[in-house]
Amino acid sequence: MEPFTEETARAKVQAAQDAWNTRDPGRVALAYTPDSVWRNRDRFLRGRAEIVAFLREKWARELDYVLRAPVS
């Protein structure tokens, strides 16, 4: 596997941003491994099912949520 170039790294960041901005928890979770572990403040999420549930809750509260990656 080739190392990232600046161009491929930017494309990967943009793809992640685009996925998150769909606000589709299932689509976002598929970008992570089935046994992923996330931490959000004091919550630990294990696996895609917990990630999907967390994102559903998050986006039910944060109606105007938009992910914007920093541009450098």
pLDDT one-digit tens code per residue, 18-65? 888 999 999 999 888 899 999 999 999 999 999 999 999 999 998 888
pLDDT reading at 71 higher than 70: no
> How far is 2 from 39, CA to CA, in rounded Å?
29
pTM of the model: 0.74
Identify the band that residue 11 occupies on the pLDDT scale cut at 50, 70 and 90. confident
pLDDT number for residue 48: 94
Let me know: does 36 contact 48? Beta carbons within 8 Å. Answer: yes
pLDDT reading at 2 higher than 90: no
